[in-house]
A and B are shown apart, each in its own frame.
Chain A
Amino acid sequence: MMGGPGGQVFVLNQTQKRESGRKTQLANVQAARAVSDIVRTTLGPNSALKMLIDSLGGIVLTNDGHAILRELDVSHPAAKSMLELARSQDEEAGDGSTSVIVLSGEMLTVAEPFLRAERLHPTQIVQAYYRAMEEALAVCERIARPLDVHDRDSMFKIVDASVGTKYVHRWGDLIVNMALDAVMKITVEGKASAKEVDIKRYARIEKIPGGELSDCTVMDGVMLNKDVTHSKMKRRIENPRILLLDCSLEYKKGESQTSVELTNDTDWDVLLKLEEEHVERLCADIISHKPDLVLCEKGVSDLAQHYLQKAGITALRRLRKTDNNRVARATGATIVSRTEEIQETDIGTGCGLFEVRKIGDEYFSFIEKCKDPKACTLLLRGGSKDVLNEVERNIQDAMQVAKNIVLEPKVLPGGGATEMAIAQALSEKSKTIEGVQQWPYKAVGIAFEVIPRTLLENCGVDVVRRLTELRAMHAQGGNERMGVNGETGVLVSMDELNIWEPFSVKTQIVKTSIEAAAMLLRVDDVVSGSKKN
């Protein structure tokens, strides 16, 4: 927008705001740091919870980085980009969303002096960052330790380390065991060792307020939030034959538009009768295969209930598709969509016990004691809904950790040891880097120290002294497993403390935080209020 002889020349729409140059870059850095400051105190075992109140007055009580950031409504574009990071970390690795935010915030913070005082060109910084990322990943590769997935003890310790920072830490053993059981259950060893662990689909978490946290269990099967359709149906069946349907047991009109011309008064009766006969036939088809339990995704009409009940068959209706899929996996049944086509092989026989139980005020159906179920329900009990929600988030993270190790059985030392080792390696290597890139390269190393530093800060110990000690240890070599005991703030070897983190989570943190920082550093112009394309 410039002044011309004929008055002002307006090129852009006046509602647009434009900010450019160094000011933008510094503002981006600040926004990123603001976001990372929010979640900073939730890192490590001595972390604090956050209470968030959303616009509707609902409460979220959590220390899960992603869950906190999801609730925030930020307006600065750079901050928004940071929130996206937590999301992608959560989806890709399932854990470490706090670390990723803290680390990328720090990556930008260490770049600030280069932008402000030394006037280094951002592209130089970005290139140095990418080179540092390569080295950091190499360090991870070097100090990683392989792990036997079938070794329950060591698996336990790793998941325990992840749970250690969470709210459910007090019931640590229980939660860890649940997460491990669940993941082991749903792991399918595919061909060519392509393992499949689908937590989203096959490990369902059901929360029932009431009872105690110690009542939480992983079932050998599936729980459904349903009661039988007809009160006279059996509520307990041992070794049931299970039939899964995804068609309705009601009379359904055809797709094509049809009209019937009734010329006779008796025709009306015929028509009604037809509808009844249709349902009767459906039921007859089912009954001829002698199932004990019919789970139907759609409706079951009163008439059908009657026929089924007479034949001694228990029916549940309006199941979710996902629930039906889980039951199919757990019992070995196939979902049938036309009753005429039921085959013996479609019937699931893997289940040991079907029972409807009343918990609190509601009825729940349990399909339990399955032989080798490949799907399961995790039943959570606890004082209040808010607590249960937090437990659910924690257990999700724990399962993700277990899954990551099952898929890639390698671990890295936790407690800031890996980060310190990376920092050490980068500062060592930076001496061999030619030109101005040396400084930002080294700065990446310093940024990595934010993890042990934050751990120490959250313990409330003398941060500078401890961090210097730790740095000195790592500099000596051979000490790359030295880290911080997040509870006491003492420096220990991770071999002793047994805090290990999955390789894939850690490397994902490194990659995401550096790439995201690099992206934000390259921005030198922010235009807001541009049109939607």
Chain B
Amino acid sequence: MSEGGMLAIDGSRETGQDVRTQNMMAAVSIANIVKSSLGPVGLDKMLVDNVGDVTITNDGATILKLLDVEHPAGKVLCELADLQDQEVGDGTTSVVILAAELLKRGNELVKQRIHPTSIISGYRLALKEAVRYIKKTLTIPMSKLERSNLVMAAKTSMNSKIIGPESDHFAEIAVSAMQNVRTERPDGSVRYPLKAVNIIKAHGRSSRESVLVDGYAINCTRAAQGMPTSISNAKIALLDFNLARHKLKLGVQVLVKDPRELEALQQRELDITKEKIQTILKSGANVILCSKGIDDVCLKYFVEAGAIAVRRVPKDDLRRIAKATGGELVLTMADADGADEEFDPSWLGSAGEVSEERLGDGEIIYIKECVKTAAQTVVLRGANEYFLDEVERSLHDSLCIIKRALETNTLVAGGGAVETALSVHLEDYASTLGTREQLAIVEFAQALLVIPRTLATNAAQDATELVARLRAKHAVSQQDPAQGEGMQYSGLDLVAGKVVNCFEYGIVEPAISKVKSLRFATEAAVTILRIDDSIKLNPREEPQ
């Protein structure tokens, strides 16, 4: 409410319960938007921007990124989804839903005259205990991750997406790609760089005809039609300079006295590049990839040598090709004294075959059978652009999941299993505490159930009953581990509407993804709960 005369601000100010309720509502309505996209039976959103471009997606982060959210608390939630997307890559929808639920319940507690700081510390306590419990009991012990487990994790992530019906096919692609890009750092740590997997989209055919190419593919064409379309035993030169008429740097002027020297100068301009190209070709290169331009004037040398030259290859692609083929990105050919130009054959990368192939309406250059598998390419096919964009997003999420799983080696059961188990456990835990945090922890436990409940609701199942059954299973497993063997992995099978052992059923997620999403959701809820005053200044009027 505007305080008007009391406080001289040019704007409106809201305090106390009002602002808390508003923030809560903003968060809940954001969560409501993405809610229906959660889970294997979640649906997609179609977003039309102000130009009229269409995006069809199921990915929480993408939806929220495209929405124009005005409310500050709503913005916090959008950023939360974005954070989860960057840190984990998947689970963006669930993190938003959870944060909104925590806020809602926190707000109720405040109404019961519990100070927000107590709630906050209760939430923090609950989070700590939850993370400890996940690590202790809920992770699926796995000394070495089997490939089948990875496929399961990938499929779990894909199931909710547009490629759900084809998840078998795509899960294999995603897992192979990520396993192939495994790189060991000098310090012994192992990394799975996501960027090493290149995704190329070409409309046409069907999504089932999407393939993983062993090697790298770039969306470019040969510079001249006279070049061969395929070269085996390729020696690849990766250049990061212009192959055009040599040009002096800007501002450098050449003054000649004798007009005839002008002619010589021009001749030289052409010859410098010619010599460069000949040095490159002499080193044995038969594929030349250049990040800058190649002048038409120079193309004939390549055509005559029977080499493939490609111009304007994106630099990022070149770097990855360098990694995969063992070559080196060459910035300049000048040697140390700068006198001579030479091209060291050791700079060349090698690959079994480089070929240009037709794909849909265009051409693509494939670099196959590289020395290393450090670069992989997935070629996606599908009905139209919107479809392909969504497939790419879905595949990206799955790749992230596999990456996390490979890096951390621990999995947890999906399908709402972890949330329910934590909920049951935290309620018990709360009763061991005699402080006012107890109430907050109970609410935290209740809030976690929003995930299985939303999953069930989206599947048009009886949420109340299913969640009750699920809780019962987890309660047994926690009270009497002997009797409840394997019951800690109980989760929902949403198509049949049953409670199943999710681990056996193949619904798994990396533990790190769950832990992080709990952390982020709690942090976001805490941030918003702490707010008790909101001042919105009127936009300053433009001076006339």
Contacts and interface: CB of A to CB of B under 8 A. Distances in A.
A44 B54 CA distance: 32
Given A255-B245, A530-B49, A533-B65, A519 B300 contact: no
B303 A88 contact: no
A417 interface: no
Interface string A77-98: 1101100110111011100000
A341 to B, nearest CB: 7
A515 B162 CA distance: 10
Given A256-B252, A530-B48, A246 B296 contact: yes
Contacts of A87: 203, 384
Given A256-B246, A258-B254, A511-B383, A91 B47 contact: no
B296 A516 contact: no
Interface string B163-204: 011100000000000000000000000000000000000011
B297 A531 contact: no
B392 to A, nearest CB: 14
Interface stretch (A2-10, A216-224, A287-295, A492-500): A2-10
A362 B265 CA distance: 43
Contacts of B40: 123
Given A123-B164, A257-B253, A274-B262, A519 B390 contact: yes
A338 interface: yes
B113 to A, nearest CB: 17
B259 A270 contact: yes
A212 interface: no
Given A81-B56, A256-B252, A530-B67, A524 B43 contact: yes
Contact of B360 (A91, A130, A198): A91
B114 interface: no
Contacts of A78: 46
Contacts of B266: 253-254
Interface residues of A, number: 92
Instruction: Name the interface size band of chain B.
Output: 35 or more
Given A12-B69, A85-B384, A201-B225, A523 B18 contact: no
Nearest to B41: A123
A16 interface: yes
Contact of B162 (A9, A80, A522): A522
B67 A257 contact: no
B49 A512 contact: no
A168 interface: no
A56 interface: no
A332 B266 CA distance: 31
Interface stretch (A155-163, A259-267, A311-319): A259-267
A331 to B, nearest CB: 13
B166 A91 contact: no
A150 to B, nearest CB: 22
26 contacts: A2-B29, A9-B26, A12-B70, A81-B54, A81-B384, A84-B385, A92-B203, A119-B460, A201-B225, A254-B265, A256-B248, A258-B254, A258-B262, A260-B256, A325-B225, A328-B225, A329-B225, A334-B300, A511-B205, A519-B56, A519-B387, A525-B43, A526-B48, A527-B67, A528-B47, A532-B50
Interface of B: 1, 14, 18-19, 21-22, 25-26, 28-30, 33, 36, 40-54, 56, 58, 65-71, 74, 162, 164-166, 203-208, 224-226, 229-230, 244-248, 250, 252-257, 259-260, 262-263, 265-266, 269-270, 296-300, 303-304, 358, 360-361, 382-387, 390, 459-460, 495
